[in-house]
Chain A
Amino acid sequence: MSVADQNTRDEARGGLDADRLLTLACVGLPLIGLILFFAYPMAIVFLRSITVGESYGLGNYAEVLGSSGFWRATRHSLIMGGATTALSVLLGFVIAHGLYRCAFPGKWIIRSVIVLPLLAPSLVQALGLIFLLGRNGVVSRALGVEIEIYGFWGLLIANTLYALPQAVMIIGAALVLLDARTYEAAEVMGASPWRQFRDLTIPAARFGILNAAFVCFTVTITDFGNAAVIGGDYSVLATEIYSQVVGQRNFNMGAVVGIMLLLPTVISYTIERQAMKRQRAGQATGQVAYRPSFAPLRDLSMASLSLLICAGIVGVIGIVVYASFVKLWPYNMALSTKHYDITLAGGYSSLWMTIVISLAAAAGGTLAVFLLALGLRRLPPAVAQPIQILAAMPAAVPGMVLGLAYILTFNSTATPLYLLYGSAALIAIVNFYHYHTQGFLTVMTGFRQLPQALEEAAGSLGAGLARSARDVVAPFIAPMLVSVFFFLFMRSMVTLSAVVFLTTPDLSVAAVTIMRLDDAGLTSQAAAFSTCVMAVVCVAVLFMKVTLALMGRRTRAKGEA
């Protein structure tokens, strides 16, 4: 062996070690974060739920299970969850079927309207319903009827509007899996459109519908904003936790209710993940996209139904924007901007703070999930698998529970983590871990589409982990990262449930301010503040679209060159 050979081999080995170190750092840092800011707080909630005085025991559970208030809230949550799920899956199927299996113009309108509820804090639906159907609502006054909107029906509509976009997306994703050839084969075999719908479309959407049902159920029973604003006396588990913790300062009881709320969400999340796997295994992706041809009866009815639902969404959100400009709802409908003078202490400072927090959560979060996903690829499956499961767990935890876990963990002087309490950083962190799963899974999907061969080719050309990450991997999954960044930003802008426990008199976020304004009876100012938040989020969406379009064009240009 020549000296030169020896040198290159040593170098190679040195490179390998540096590589391994980098892999460890990639996985290690995000993993420490997950443990410190997710697993540890969750363990604390659990411990607190079984803490009775100075010792451990099931006393709290006994007390909660013995209280009629808890059972009422549970019953309400389950009924509300079930009703919302049924309604939003039904409507979601109608819209998804219209979008992907029918032929009519103007689908882009439906596509853009349907995501509107995701761009606003969940309490905006509730606010909108109050402006429409409340005692002073336009509809109630026009018809001269008293509608009791606070309570079950108001909450049902608000929750349905909020869950609908997700139902449409999930069911739509299942519908597009069916190849055009499959339908054509059925057509040539003599199947009527109705039979094709019954024998092909419905079975194909089965897992999607199941999946959507679980997501809608989880979203509904964990949502706090709508319940707080329009729930009225209809107490649900989320509001129950809030009143235990904020109203009665009874942290241990709050923890117990939190653990109870965790049960159904964990179960439904687990089933949903299984359903998703089955769906993916069931069918190769469509080779030729299905292009429906015009069938008047089917298409006109589907189109008008979809448009009707969209009109409802636009109405509910639009009325909030409109009401924010009305001088004195409903007595003086002249337009003015006076409600944009926020009179609550702090004014707009919480809006700016929320933007800063959201940017931080988005930037830090995107980096963290990217590093984690990148490092996981290089670990043996036996090690990677448990980490992957941990990384996918936060989605099963309701925001309320996570927020409660944070206050229990970080508001205790037992550890140096106390330093974070009351800081904007902690709010950014809770937001990131609240939405960790979606971000992580998106990047993992991106990585799965990255051809292994590409990375191996870079590796065989001598590129180490750092180099191949920068030159090969990053450009390939950059669009994914952009999506994750804006997803985290937008969710952080509008989320309420996790942060509601972590705000202090000096440090608030936008969604909490809206709730406070509404609580204080300043409904028009709440509408104005909501409008500002929606404007920021819409600008973010615009930025995302432009960035993705530019990136698309650049890669295409490169591809052609």
Chain B
Amino acid sequence: MYLTVCDATKTYGNFTALDRVSIEIEKGEFVCLLGPSGCGKTTLLRLIAGLTDLDGGEISLEGSPLSDLPARKRGFGIVFQSYSLFPNMTIAENIGYGLKIRGAPNEEINARVTDLLALVKLPHLADNFPGQLSGGQQQRIALARAIAVDPRVLLLDEPLSALDAKVRAELRDEIRQVQRSLGIPTLMVTHDQEEALALADKIICMNHGVVVQAGTPEELYHRPATRFVAEFMGISNLLSAEQVERHYPDLLATRPSSESAYLACIRPEQIGVTPDEDGMSSVRSISFLGNLRRLEVDTPGGPLLVETHGANPCQEGTRVSLNIQPHACTWVIDDAAQHATSPA
């Protein structure tokens, strides 16, 4: 294990921002920290960077604890959401600053800056000042600056969230490429599940200051452990045990225990739909989403969302029958029972 955070706890007054959080990052791994606003992602990232002090627990790198090491001695790289370039330095000086601090000779710094500017595809901006760059360009430079010193860990705090959708998608791919080619262990904070799914080797899903589930994108999407994760990772149909018993009894086989605290989670693209004159269900509405269609289907067991690709013969009002394979159903713990919200 390369970087480990063990039982990290952080409180502000009597508010617990992080409650015994443990995570692990392997060498070369790209890990996304995912969760809703205010769940403690930034706090955790800052603890790892050394910008905030731990109240409990331990962070260690390759087995040696980091607690007594100030941020500037950790040798990490960090990129913030925005506005962190040094306004009084040129782009080249910004990128070379870390090396300059380490006393690298000028030729080496210049060569490295040139390489990095080429890597982030902005070689012509070397002598500009940050104020003259667009948001996307600034973030590219911030990334180049962070990796200039071959950081032991790269920390990214929502580096893309201040950018518009197109730039964001572009930069997302670039970050991934750069990280892959250099093999820097990376922890990126985001509250955009799509971003996390596209980038991460491993996703750590947080809520209210605790880790709810950690795993590969596939695992989190297809095998969410709790209702929170299921809902956060995309659209799902959540059915109570009674509903399943009454209407889809063959799904019960996979239920871990007979407790009713479990809900059945079925992703909409896992449901097969065929037009059927004698079907028990009917299509209430169809929304066209480009590459797919989302149907809202009225079934005897309540409304379900279904997604289909390609041509579809269904119209609004068409009678249909649904087909749900037992393996398409995941049983999740209902951790949000108090504020029940079902996907519309």
A residues in contact (CB < 8 Å) with B: 178-179, 181-182, 184-192, 195, 199-200, 203-204, 206, 281-284, 286-287
Contacts and interface: CB of A to CB of B under 8 A. Distances in A.
A282 B78 contact: no
B88 A203 contact: yes
Contacts of A187: 51, 70-72
B130 to A, nearest CB: 9
Contacts of A178: 87
- Considering residues B75, B78, B83, B155, which has the most beta carbons from chain A within 10 angstroms of its beta carbon? B83
B86 interface: yes
A190 B73 contact: yes
Contacts of B97: 186, 189, 191, 199
Contact of B98 (A190, A203, A286, A287): A190
B84 interface: yes
Nearest to B142: A185
Contact of A181 (B75, B83, B145): B83
A188 B49 contact: yes
B83 A189 contact: no
Contacts of B86: 182, 185-186, 199-200
A189 B98 CA distance: 5
Contacts of A199: 86, 89, 97
Given A179-B84, A203-B88, 5 more contacts: A185-B142, A188-B155, A191-B72, A203-B89, A284-B83
Given A188-B49, A188-B72, A181 B80 contact: yes
A199 B50 CA distance: 21
Contact of A189 (B50, B72, B80, B82): B72
Contacts of B142: 185
Given A187-B72, A191-B101, A182 B82 contact: no
- Considering residues A189, A281, A282, which has the most beta carbons from chain B within 10 angstroms of its beta carbon? A189
Closest 9 A/B residue pairs (Cβ): A203-B88, A181-B84, A189-B98, A283-B87, A185-B84, A188-B78, A181-B80, A190-B72, A187-B71
A420 B249 CA distance: 99
27 contacts: A181-B84, A184-B51, A184-B71, A184-B80, A185-B86, A185-B142, A188-B50, A188-B72, A188-B76, A189-B145, A189-B149, A191-B97, A191-B101, A195-B101, A199-B86, A199-B97, A200-B86, A200-B88, A204-B87, A206-B88, A282-B87, A282-B131, A283-B131, A284-B83, A286-B83, A287-B82, A287-B83
Contacts of B89: 199, 203
A190 B75 contact: yes
Contacts of A188: 49-51, 71-72, 74, 76-78, 155
Which secondary structure dominates where chain B touches chain A? loop
Contacts of B71: 184, 187-188
A287 B98 CA distance: 23
- Considering residues A185, A186, A195, which has the most beta carbons from chain B within 10 angstroms of its beta carbon? A185
Nearest to B49: A188
A184 B84 contact: yes
- Considering residues B74, B87, B145, which has the most beta carbons from chain A within 10 angstroms of its beta carbon? B87
A371 B87 CA distance: 37
Nearest to A285: B83
B327 interface: no
Interface residues of B, number: 31
Contacts, number: 82
A189 B51 contact: no
A318 B307 CA distance: 79
Contacts of B155: 188
Contacts of B77: 188-189
Interface in B134-152: 142, 145-146, 149
A203 B89 CA distance: 9
A179 B76 contact: no
B102 interface: yes
Contacts of B75: 190
Contacts of B85: 182, 185
B102 to A, nearest CB: 7
Contacts of A184: 49, 51, 71, 78, 80, 84
A200 B71 CA distance: 17
A190 B148 CA distance: 12
Contacts of A287: 82-83
A190 B84 contact: no
B101 A182 contact: no
Contacts of A283: 87, 131
A175 to B, nearest CB: 13
A184 B47 CA distance: 12
Contacts of B84: 179, 181-182, 184-185
Contacts of B70: 187
Contacts of B98: 189-190
- Considering residues A188, A206, A283, which has the most beta carbons from chain B within 10 angstroms of its beta carbon? A188
Contacts of B76: 188
Contacts of B146: 189
A179 B83 contact: yes
Given A181-B80, A284-B83, A189 B101 contact: yes
B208 to A, nearest CB: 23
B285 to A, nearest CB: 35
A185 B149 contact: no
- Considering residues B84, B89, B149, B155, which has the most beta carbons from chain A within 10 angstroms of its beta carbon? B84
B92 to A, nearest CB: 15
B78 A185 contact: yes
Contacts of B101: 189-191, 195
Contact of B83 (A182, A186, A191, A203): A182
Contacts of A286: 83
A192 B80 CA distance: 20
Nearest to A284: B83
B88 A190 contact: no
Contact of A190 (B80, B131, B149): B149
A190 B102 contact: yes
Contacts of B74: 188
A242 to B, nearest CB: 44
Contacts of A186: 86, 97
A123 to B, nearest CB: 41
- Considering residues A190, A192, A203, which has the most beta carbons from chain B within 10 angstroms of its beta carbon? A190
A195 B101 CA distance: 8
Contacts of A179: 83-84
Contact of A182 (B49, B87, B149): B87
Contacts of A206: 88
A90 B300 CA distance: 80
A67 B276 CA distance: 112
Interface in B51-98: 51, 70-78, 80, 82-89, 97-98
